[in-house]
Structure 1
Amino acid sequence: MPVREGRLPAGGLEVAAEAGDAVILVGDGAAAAAAGLTAGAPRVLAWETPGFRAGAWARVLAEVCAGFDAVLLPACPDGRDLAPRLAARLGRPLLAGAVEVGPGFAVLPRDGDRRSIRVGLTGPAVVTVRPGAGGGAARGGAGGRGVRPQPGNLVGAAGSRSPILGSGGVGSPPTPGAPSGTGAVGRVGLITAETDDAGAHDAETIAVMAPDPATMDLSEAGRIVAGGAGLMGGEDGGAAAFALLSEVATALAASTGATRVVTDAGLVPFERQIGTAGTMVSPVLYMAIGVSGAVQHLSGTGDPAHVVAVNLDPSCPMMAAADLGLVTDAPGLLAALARRLGVDPAAVDARFEGGDAGDSL
């Protein structure tokens, strides 16, 4: 899987957790990132190489992965760039954006995630897995659609033995190697390879620009401010509250999320819905304002490092999952937070004035 500055991409841990044969990390700081994976993965290989050059990487990784049946990559931006090139080099089909992979099949969403299809795996393949899709399986938690192959089947950003194909697989792979050899540091194998001859027709990365939290894929967001039924109500049904929620999220450099009841009401677009029926996420910070925490929603929130919940019900599931729970009026606290963050006062709807949380921040 691609690595930048020693950091795994979105969905990287989930793919690594499902690897039964080996995990291969490529990029700047790959060896440092690999050191943190050795406890759970059977074999970890690292190829330390500067920059992102999908064409050159695909040439080398095709030789490393040729003996494996299934190649999994996270469906992060770099993974989506690398996967089709690698599939072409290997002469294999590409199954993009899978939400579940198992023995002999992969599940792919269609029609804006409103339905899914089950695709049989009868031969070697390259599969990209959506970040957050392994929420239950990869973290050992409950709930969520996940990547659940048989043990010993898969290599994260490398390959799989034949059980993933069902009956009639292509046999056991050879020991992975790189064209220019491998070394080892502790439990991390080091891949060395030359890419100069492959770079003539490769794309060059000039700069990496941070995504706009307001428009980026919710599954890749590091911070999420989500609103639920507790923000609905009033003459406008909650439209002003969710407009303000968006302003607060922007001030926090966070993405906006919502529960199903909110998207069903048309207050927030469907692609912002979090849960098993929407988008699976795993942010560093998850702030739930007026969200009670139905199991379908909690199953899609992944394993955030920090959870803040605001609700009048101290015993609701969302409060139980929170590191910081605030028992107060959700619209009132949202208004107070907006003022503290310097949001334009005109955006703070008059109906929030004087709420229980008005002067609490």
Structure 2
Amino acid sequence: MSAGDREVVVTGLGVTSAFGRGEDALWAGLAAGRAAFAPVTRFAADRYRTDAAATLPDAADLDAELARVVDHACAQAGLGAPERSRAPLLLGRHADPAVARRPLAAQGKTAISDTAAELARSQGLRGPARTYTNACVAAATALAEGAARVRGGLEERVVVAAGYLVDEDNFALFSAGRALAPDGALRSFSAGRRGLLLGDGVGAVVLESRATAAARGARPLGVLAGWGLAGDAHHVCQPHPGGRGMARAITAALDKAGLTPADIGYVNAHGTGTPHNDAAETAALRRALGDDVDRVPVSSTKSLHGHALEASGMLELAVTLLALRHGTLPVNAGYRGPDDDCRLDLVVGEPRRAEPRHALSLNAAFGGANTAWVVSAP
């Protein structure tokens, strides 16, 4: 089998965000360019730094939402029962905060991996399933393992899912750390940015080799051309100010894809709207892309749909695939003006028409973890 035949393609996609269920709802929200932040109704938030988040009001059960997006992705990919039974599940998800309140003996009997195993069983997928909980790179890490399995010939296809619904535990945690934006707006890379805002995000994709997809007539939605993972080892909750770990991840992703910085036509940035993160990510892009960074459009769609924590990589992969499909780059919302530490070609004001062939999607997490994806048009 040639290298082209082993290319990793996405053949099915299911997604839920604060804009609604399904990729059409997500794209409509992105195309409108209006942020989905509103007062939280899921719990009383009046005692916190802000009461704003991007939530889907009727999304209350993460396991139910995960089952829905996995089923939708498999159906869109055209997977019948035989194909599902041969596909493993890799899941990035947020731990159930209720478990932490149980007695220690009970906690030990309630492994988070059990939820992945149950999800796999309910959707007819092959077990045992694997679960990733490594904060804001959980989904991206699961995607990397899935893509590596397919590209290496270990699997013909893999289902990867991820999910987070805004919960009071994390809301309180980020509020106490003064990380939530008190003005109710996430202003990525902007002057006057004051923090992040949380958002619902649940998604699933079917990954398979191009040859496997072609053999059964499946239409690729996009290509996972390259990926990179790297660490900062700098600080438990702050990125390296020079963006060294993120830059290494970007370079590794480009190398795996066989591309150069000149090939990249869009960056879907991690862009949390916090002073340290956005400045470090800008430094990473300048370090990794060199002079090309000045002509590459950049936006953080967290400014529209919020920070989905463990599911960020999955939700933002969906955003990047849709941007390539529609030839429109989502806006970097909440922008108030340039910041000397964030000198980038930001998509501001309204979405920008463009038809890039290749895009980068970036994520970072506490502990100095960084991931980068090269996502290509099919």
Give the TM-score, by structure 1 length.
Answer: 0.30
Q: Which of 1 and 2 has greater Rg?
A: 1
Greater helix share, 1 or 2? 2
The higher-RCO structure (CA 8 Å, 6+ apart) is: 2
State TM-score, norm by structure 2.
0.29
